[in-house]
Amino acid sequence: MTIDRADYPSPITIGLTCRCPRCGKGKLFKGFLSLRESCDVCGLDYDFADPADGPAFFVLCFTCVPALIVAVWVEVALQPPLWVHFLTTLPLIIAACVLPLRPLKAWLIASQFYHDAAEGKRVDMVPPAGQTSHD
């Protein structure tokens, strides 16, 4: 029996809910960023999941850099005392760095599952009849 991709939840939905990419019900994480061994509902083994540094890269580029730009702008434009930065920009930067990590990691794992991503493999091409591999 072949399962169509339409039978799986959307990777975006999985990213927002941090649930199993196959059933959409089981928990994906056992800690803040550590994955479970498998889904507690459908039994999907999470060994395929390897988002590597993807979540950190996306967070750095799309949330941390803008938050830092806002912090620099506040300093240059308003020149507030240091305690103002501790109350405003420090929490902004911490929230911008930490909060998106979990949903982005779940989204990348769901995308790997949804698109059946795997490690690249070398394929030796056989030359057509009548040609040598030196042509």
- Tens of pLDDT along 20-29? 999 999 999 9
Give the pair of three-digit tokens for residue 38.
């498998």
Structure tokens that stand for 77 in this block: 């434009």
| Contacts with 65 (C-beta within 8 Å, 6 or more apart), sequence order | none
The model's pLDDT over 48-72, given as tens digits with 9 standing for 90+, comes to: 998 989 999 999 999 999 999 999 9
Q: Distance from first CA to last CA of the chain, Å, rounded?
A: 44
Provide the whole-model pTM. Answer: 0.79
